[in-house]
Amino acid sequence: MKGYRFYLEYPYKSKHVRGAKHEGNVLALLLDENNQPMKHLCASGYCFDCVHAMFAYPNSGVCSGSCDAEYLREYGKRISEAKAREIHPTLFVVLDMDHSREESY
């Protein structure tokens, strides 16, 4: 899917622990026309525009927001779209709807 980069979310910096369990949610960074994350300045430096889980339970509902680069380094692991679809299908209800709308213009 063009326009997004996917990250699996882990609680408590646990992605660094072998065999750590993830939250069952995926964060999707929005990409610009050059395939770079859309970012803006925030208190911690740069923040990335994204679609992410609203709650910490698996396959949570989603909303738009932002996350900082440090959060991604500590709590995120980049994954493929196929893996993201498997882990967080609710996210793709929203992303697929948005993508199909853009193609109809």
First to last CA, the chain: 17
Give the model's pLDDT for residue 1: 85
- Number of CB atoms found within 10 A of residue 37's CB: 18
| pLDDT tens readout for residues 86-99 | 999 999 999 998 66
Give the model's pLDDT for residue 38: 93
Q: Is residue 6 within 8 Å of 85, Cβ to Cβ?
A: no
Query: What's the pTM?
Result: 0.86
Please report which residue ranges of the chain form alpha helices under DSSP H: 69-75, 81-87, 89-103
CA 89/CA 28 separation, integer angstroms: 12
Give the model's pLDDT for residue 99: 63
| pLDDT tens readout for residues 7-65 | 999 887 767 777 778 888 999 999 999 999 999 988 888 899 999 999 989 999 999 99
